[in-house]
Amino acid sequence: MEKSMTMRKWFWVWEFDKEETWLNEMAMNGWLLESVSFAAYHFVRCEPGTYSIRLEMHPADEEYVSFMEETGAEYIGRMMMWMYFRKKVEDGPFDLFSDIDSRIAHLDRIGKLLQIVGVANLVIGVANAIGPTRLGWINLLCATLLMYGLGRIHGKKEALEKERMLHE
Amino acid sequence: MAEMMALTEATYYILLSLVRPQHGYGIMQQTEALSHGRVHLAAGTLYGALNTLCDKGWIIQLPVEDGSRRKEYRLTEQGRSVLLAEMKRLRELVDNGERILRGE
């Protein structure tokens, strides 16, 4: 039986919860996330269902990593702005966020980044479209996609804010 | 004005845990013990809250001892008065609830 494998898979930023669910399903099936690289996930064999995986958009932060390790989580690695952690199921429940406010703050971080990159693409796209290169449409396409992503993040945030009116 | 607003459960228990110096994992454990397992602080939530509370001056980070990577925090005088004000507010909520449900 194979001991390790690599899977190529693409998730959009706004699908981070889908990505997390998929990684946990892999762990349920005996494949534990070992490291991440661009659009690729490297797994090793594990006892099915012994680990939980969590991911979070967080700027590079050594302090945060050691804080997480202090609480019993293992740092798997980072890809772009995303940090991946795992924790043994027997060491207790594993969540990164335990209240609505911090979930909203996380979505805000993601939204802010999408907005910056989206606006940059829009500006470059418009500049190129009227310039000599005529390649501006690529940036405009990117900007459209990022704005769509921003809409998806905003939708998730609105649902949480509604909840926040009644609970914390 | 913001100082008069209700604290979240997480903030309340973090402040309460820091009456004595405590590190992050200690705060999580103490909160669970105090609330008999009802309130669970996730690491990401706690980390963000500790930074915010330090910025507000309600808690301070203690100097790190040699050979230890764990950071300890402690409640400040300002944090203590925030905590006392919150307890007063909570008492009022419960008192009002009891009084009205008793039909006075």
Q: Which domains does chain B have, with CATH numbers?
A: 8-101 (1.10.10.10)
DSSP string, A5-68: EEEE----GGGHHHHHHHHHHHHHTTEEEEEEETTEEEEEE--TT-EEEEEEE----HHHHHHH
Nearest to B70 among A70, A73, A97 (CB): A70
Dump pLDDT digits (tens) for A91-119. 888 999 999 999 999 999 999 999 999 99
Contact B44 A102 (CB under 8 A): yes
- What average pLDDT does this structure show over B39-46? 95
Nearest to B8 among A56, A105, A168 (CB): A168
Contacts of A25 (CB under 8 A, 6+ apart): none
Dump pLDDT digits (tens) for B50-60. 999 999 999 99
Three-state SS for A85-97 is EEEEHHHCCCCCC
Q: Write out residues 76-95 of B within 8 Å (CB-CB) of A.
A: none
pLDDT at A127: 86
Contact B42 A98 (CB under 8 A): yes
Say whether pLDDT at A19 is over 90.
Answer: yes
Dump pLDDT digits (tens) for A75-93. 999 999 999 999 999 988 8
Per the listing, tokens 């980070």 go with B61
Question: What are the tokens at A60?
Answer: 């590079």
Say whether pLDDT at B70 is over 60.
Answer: yes
Dump pLDDT digits (tens) for A140-165. 999 999 999 999 999 999 999 999 99
Contact B43 A71 (CB under 8 A): yes
pLDDT at B3: 55
At position B14, the amino acid (one-letter code) is I
pLDDT at B64: 82
